[in-house]
Amino acid sequence: RYTGWAMDPDILVVSLAAIAVVCLLGGFAAYVRHSGRKRLDTLSPAFELGTTRLVGPLGNTVEGLYQGYTCRYTVRHPTQHDRGGANLRLFASSPHSWSAEVDTPGSRFFVKFGLLKDLEIGDQDLDQRLRFSAGDEGSVRSIFGVGGVRTAMQALADSQNFAGVGTREGRIDVKFEPRAPELDDDPEALRARLELAVALVGACGYPPAYHPPAQ
């Protein structure tokens, strides 16, 4: 007597779970592609025409040229341990390593107990607003001894949601936080951020640098 073909229940459950995982991954990949393409189309006007592309697998990073500098802009979405925001990286030849971050009650606490550095550069306004640190204290004081650098730093620090800037060999990183879609996803706001960052890098005398292809 023919009873038909029956699949083992355990195999059936595993097969259905595998199909569900594949569908979820496919849907996520489609969402990432769509959101990445939308972000690229939205933010491309901030860069030089025809120079932009998406970088990385998540679709949240756009790279392009601005005034000769290769710039990489990443949107960070909020998480439990991150307020989110945006990171702007310029690839430039910097012989110095220094950072300037917005002073907060938390950072002042750590400075008080010697857990963080806080160098004074000799500019009253910037010293009150920002916490400076550097591998070579003399070099950062020398850099900010130039009026044009101080002016560019003040303009960047005045920009909305500015959180900090740091330099190291081959790149300069600027942070904006917390996440603000009306700023982070707006091409005009991004162009203003690019303009301020490039002005600071130029005032410091850091020329554009080659960087390896994005992974």
Work out whether the CA dihedral 111, 113, 114, 116 comes out positive or negative. negative
Give the pLDDT of residue 32.
Answer: 44
Query: Please, what are the averages of pLDDT over each run of 10 residues along the chain (215 residues)?
Result: 57 64 50 67 95 89 96 94 94 91 67 65 91 86 93 97 93 96 96 98 92 53
Structure tokens at 22: 């594949």
Q: For position 10, what pLDDT does the model report?
A: 66
pLDDT value of residue 146: 94
* 109-156 residue pLDDT tens: 455 555 567 788 889 999 989 999 888 888 888 999 999 999 999 999
Tell me, what's the pLDDT at 211? 63
- 34 contact partners, CB below 8 Å, separation of at least 6: none
pLDDT value, residue 80: 85
The predicted pLDDT at position 29 comes to 44
Q: Among candidates 79, 36, 83, 30, which has minimal Cα distance to 58?
A: 36
pTM metric for this prediction: 0.79
Q: Which helix (H) or strand (E) holds 192?
A: helix 187-204
Query: So what's the pLDDT on residue 76?
Result: 94
Residue 102 has a pLDDT of 92
Local structure of residue 45 (DSSP, 8 states)? G
pLDDT in tens, 88-103: 999 999 888 999 999 8
DSSP 44: G
